[in-house]
Structure 1
Amino acid sequence: MQGANVSRKPPGLPAIEWDDLRYFLTLAREKSLSGAARSLGTTQPTMSRRLELFEKKLGAVLFQRRPSGLELTDTGRQILDYAGRMEDAALAAERIATGSSAGLSGTIRVTSAEWLGARVLSPLLAEFCTLHPEMNIELVTDTEALSLTRRETDIAVRFGRFEQEGLMQRKIGSLPFGLYAAPGYLKAKGLPDFRQRGAGATVIAMNAALAESVAETKWLRHHLAHAHIAFRSNSRDGQAAAAVAGAGLVCLPARLAGAYPQLRAIETPAPVPSRDVWLGFHRDTRGIPRVRGVVDFLAERTRRLR
């Protein structure tokens, strides 16, 4: 009987609210108080107090504190499933309610990779804002993909198809890539010897964590397998700047390389793989005029993206 009293909700505590579940879900996803605090724009002590109060309301421990971070208990895992479903329902209701707004006005958040947002999307979105002065566009460029299903963003532009359920998507273009180098590098090292798979050459590549998912990095490993990797970066502009400084050969989108006139295109025995560009948005937002307006505008303007 004593064990049964441990899980009983203490009397006099307020009822569970949606904010309790929102804080709990963020903690489960971030696996740390500090990470959850950053995500919600609050402080670590506040997150700790909110968790303590929620556990008191439930009369149960939801997380074990480990050196690696917060780990859900069995009870926490069960609650996570229900809380996730409640979040989906709440966000769906919010999307439907937002859909009643008429006209091209209001705020839309768009997310993409850094260089794609800066070099391709920013000029187009600026044009859209000029055409529709009541609109407010927020472009978020980040290596961490924001979630369409959790409404962290309204529209996402990414390389490759979207895998989440409940999303609508369309291919809006394909970006060719090429191999480039600065004249100073070519004077010092010469053209790469593809028959020797790049022996004696130096190359610039993506960070190791991204290498397996990036097609042009696989191309580099195959055609220039004996080259020395002199520099790595997850920033395309960072790679381009390193190539301009003479660090080595680099695979870049032709659209980005064109912004660096110091770079020279290198003829290759096989084309560097191009990357398909996909636009995604949540199915529940397809009837919202401002979402539809931005989606259709970007799809039309990028239809022949290259």
Structure 2
Amino acid sequence: MNWDDLRLFLAVAREGSISGGARKLGVQHSTVSRRMQTLETKLGVRLIERKKSGYELTPAGESLKIAACRMEHEVLEVDGFLGGRDNRLIGELRVSAISSMASGILMPMFAKFSRNNPDVDLHVLVSNKNISLVERDADVAIRLTNTPSDALIGTQLATVSSTIYASHRYLDQLRSEGGKPKWLGVSCCAFHQSWTKKSAAGQRHNFFVDDALLTTAALKQHMGLAYLPCFIGDSEPELARYCAPDPQMNLGLWLLFHPDLKRTARVLAFRDHMIHEVKLQTALLTGKRPEQLHT
């Protein structure tokens, strides 16, 4: 049995649809659909069924998923054992980071690493979800969290502060007219969701965003208040702080990778590079810049 076919099947099984599996693998929907049909023909059984709620694995599909996961584990162990001994600054390096950081503050750091290490093929992957380092969806993940996984090797690069932001115009209007501030509905991450729920005190939202960059754009349209990391909010001249950052809302910026890669030269070089570069941005990340605060 072709391992590539099983890898494709696992992607579909984990994502719950052919389109989801295609996105995960970076291939065409038609390619995944055709190869799934070919695999089912080879095995002589149906592996997935389409229901009203989406795709579901058949009993045969569930059995194959268990077997394929075992095979994947063995393949990754061999890959990690061999790759973990690579002491050359050459090869592919896949780095996952959340969109608001990857496209802004981190991109100059990524570009500098790439220029300094031209033999490393750097792939920057953007995801606001926790992508699996165990399944090797990426080699390195840069994440905002206060609870990094014990199963991974982690280095805290910095502390990131957040606070409430709005446009200057909205804050002026709020001061002159009074009344309760209007909050954006946000779902970019669990942190912003819970902070907003607590601060908005049950207020009904009629405008929702699911990304920090979208939140920034909405605030610039005078849509109300929302939480943002200080490195984003303080960099926008159209926005101002509604209050000072609360240390209870500080998050750790972590660089994480799988233990199998602890001796891989390109991973270690990237880690050391990021430690140095992020340290230069400490003031921006912690919000320690002079600002006119609005209360």
Which TM-score band (shorter chain)?
0.7 to 0.9
Is residue 228 of structure 2 the alignment partner of residue 252 of structure 1? Answer: yes
Question: What is residue 4 of structure 1 aligned with on the other side?
Answer: none
Residue range with higher mean Cα deviation, 217-226 or 79-88: 217-226
Q: What is residue 297 of structure 1 aligned with on the other side?
A: 273
Distance (whole Å) between structure 1 residues aligned to residue 126 and residue 11 of structure 2:
21
Aligned to 1:83: 68
Distance 1:126 1:53, change over 3 A: closer
Q: Measured at CA, do residues 241 and 19 of structure 1 come closer, stay the same or move farther in structure 2, by a change above 3 Å?
A: closer
Q: CA deviation at 1:62?
A: 2.3
1:137 equivalent to 2:122? Answer yes
Amino acid of the residue matched to residue 278 of structure 1? W
* Offset, 1:200: 2.6
Deviates more, 1:94-103 or 1:232-241: 94-103
Distance 2:33 2:236 in 1: 48
Cross-structure match for 1:266: 242
Find out whether 1:187 has 2:172 as its counterpart.
Answer: yes
Give the Cα separation in 1 of the matches to 2:106 and 2:245: 32
Change beyond 3 A, Cα 1:49–1:234: closer
1:117 is matched with: 102
Query: What is residue 231 of structure 1 aligned with on the other side?
Result: 207
Please show how residues 68-107 of structure 1 align to structure 2 within 5 Å. Answer: 68-107=53-92
| TM-score of the aligned structures, taking structure 1 as reference length | 0.80
Between the aligned residues of both structures, percent identity stands at 29
The structure whose Rg is larger is 1
Give 3-state SS (helix, strand or coil) of 1:96's partner: helix
Residue from 33, 43, 52 that aligns with 1:58? 43
Q: What do the CA deviations read for 1:115-148 (whole angstroms, capped 9, x no partner)?
A: 1112222122222233333333222222344321
Residue in structure 2 matched with residue 13 of structure 1 by the alignment: none
Q: Is the 8 A contact 2:155 2:256 kept in 1?
A: yes
**Structure 2 vs 1, CA of residues 228 and 35 (structure 1 numbering), >3 Å: closer, same or farther?**
closer
Per-residue deviation at 1:248? Answer: 1.1
Any stretches of 5+ residues in structure 1 without a counterpart?
1-15, 194-198
Q: How many residues align?
A: 281
- Return the alpha-carbon distance in structure 2 between the equivalents of residues 240 and 46 of structure 1: 37
**Counterpart position of 1:171:** 156
Q: 1:219 to 1:22 in 2, by over 3 A?
A: closer
**Residues 46-90 of structure 1: CA deviation (Å, up to 9, x unaligned):** 434433332343343322332223212223212211210111211
Instruction: Read off the aligned partner of 2:136 and give its amino acid letter.
Output: R
Aligned partner of 2:293 in structure 1 is none
| Alignment partner of 2:260 out of 276, 284, 301 | 284
User: Could you say if the C-alpha distance between residues 272 and 229 of structure 1 is closer, same or farther in structure 2, counting changes exceeding 3 Å?
Assistant: farther
Question: 1:268 Cα shift?
Answer: 5.6
Deviations 1:229-269 (A, max 9, x none): 35321221221222222111221111111210222222369
TM-superposed CA distance for 1:21, in Å, is: 1.2
Q: In the aligned structure 2, how far is the partner of 1:293 from the partner of 1:172? A: 14
Q: Within 2, Cα distance between the matches of 1:190 and 1:57?
A: 70
* Alignment partner, residue 200 of structure 1: 180
CA RMSD, 1 decimal? 2.7
